[in-house]
Amino acid sequence: MPTVATSHAIPHESASTRERLRALIRAIESRAPRPASAPAFLAPHVTRRGPLPLEVALPGARLRKTASGTCVVREVRRPLAAPAGREAFGEAFDLSDLPRVVGSPLVRLAPDAELADAAIEDLLFLDIETTGLGGAGAMAFLVATGRVEDGVSGRAFVLRQYIAPSPPAEASLLEALIEDAGIRGGDPVLVTYNGRMFDAPMLDGRATMHRQRGGFEALRQLDLLLPARVAYRGLLPSCRLVELEYALLGMTRPPSEASGAEAPGWYFRFLRTGDARMLIPIVEHNERDVVALAALTGRFAALAAGQVEAHGLHALAAGRLLAARGEREAARGHFEHAITTMTLDTPDALGAPGTRGGSRVEVLVRLAALHKASGRRDLAAPLWHELAERPGAPAQRAYHELAIYYERHARDLVAALDIVDRALAHVARLARLDADQAARWRDALLQRRSRVHSRLARSSSPH
């Protein structure tokens, strides 16, 4: 009967769903490597066997009771003199040179985020770790924030990590996070890396699941991934946070560090064993992400604002960013410096890999276009000459611009004729790749050569 069949189908379907979920959790847990025998984070004197509680395994951790339950909050004050790659964290964050209001440099990174009046204390750096499960199972079990705060011992970067010791504790985690972040009655600037697409929507969605009001997506937000892509796409192996922090700061991660992909596996292992040591790898990874994000934001903003001298690839990156913001003069200065500091085999001053010929070609093209737009074709001409001779460059376009320059602006018809002849020789080489395009270029060049010949003949004939 229909009723009986339905009553038997539901338990069977639920059992099947539970088994699929268990299999998925086992697969995720297997991505995390076996625990190290002596986790770097663990106090050296801790030799206790068996599961360790959070307050022992994670120095600085304490229980936090909220109306929604109990979570764990770990707080660490990081001195601004602490290292961040090649220099102190405070220097990377450029606190010594930036006034209290840092909005002007930040506007270049996020022009639509209303950051003109942002103060250092307004910046709330955030990174989250989730279980990686789909749908309602994708909970946030670890959230880290960082901000610059004054204290008894002076200014420091205060890191707070919110941990859900069990899935139901996510509600308490979110409540504590929202309270400390100052979303209610405050106006923090949320600084993330891919947070606009993931972190903020995730936190708001989970808050809604627990009948809380999040509000992270409504905050002013600086998602550093967006300007990073504008500035560095194609210049670095990728635009991942670890690539950018190494290129700009010289920060490196220990080889044994857990990756973001391994974080869910460590968390499920912790839930299964009750041993807080399983959280150590992801807590370390999460902390480094937030510290790197803060240091990188300061250095990136200072780079865009011209407060630190950029060389090589970084000068190109700063020029790209400023050109995208419509600041042509500032961009031109960076491109000019990039040309003088770029080499084919020497690493630049900030530690990125040696520049490639393609990067120099891009600088030449961009700088020549800026000179042309400002009416200084005479400054663009040497750049077009180099492009015409450089392999892989848009040589035909460079020849075209040079022919126009010598014929119409420099009024050097002999030079214009020489450029046209060289361009025709170049077209002959291109014909093997695109015969139709080469034919169109050849026709245009022959017309130009005929016109230049005629003008030369008229200029040399006696009146």
What pLDDT digit, counting tens, does each position of 109-127 carry? 888 888 888 888 889 999 9
What is the predicted pLDDT for the residue at 28?
A: 62
Q: Identify the band that residue 462 occupies on the pLDDT scale cut at 50, 70 and 90.
A: low
Same fold, 54-304 and 312-460: no
161: phi then psi, degrees, rounded to nearest 5: -120, 125
pLDDT at 118: 84
| The pLDDT value given to residue 315 | 92
Q: Per-residue pLDDT for 349 more than 70?
A: no
Q: What integer is the mean pLDDT of 73-97?
A: 76
pLDDT value of residue 261 = 85
Per-residue model confidence as pLDDT tens digits over 221-262 = 999 999 999 999 999 999 999 999 999 888 888 887 888 888
Please write the tens of the pLDDT for every residue from 42-56: 444 445 566 887 877
pLDDT for the residue numbered 229: 95
- In the predicted structure, residue 198 carries a pLDDT above the cut 80: yes
CATH 3.30.420.10 assigned to 54-304: yes
Q: What top-level class would CATH report for the domain 312-460?
A: mainly alpha
Whether the pLDDT of residue 19 is over 50: the answer is yes
Per-residue pLDDT, averaged over 154-182, amounts to 94
Give the mean pLDDT of 45-72.
82
Q: Residue 40 above 70 pLDDT?
A: no
pLDDT, tens digit, 9 for 90 and up, residues 355-393: 445 788 999 999 999 999 999 999 999 999 999 988 777
pLDDT at residue 53 in the model: 79
In the chain, where are the structural domains located?
Answer: 54-304, 312-460
- The highest-confidence range among 94-98, 170-174, 433-437, by mean pLDDT, is 170-174
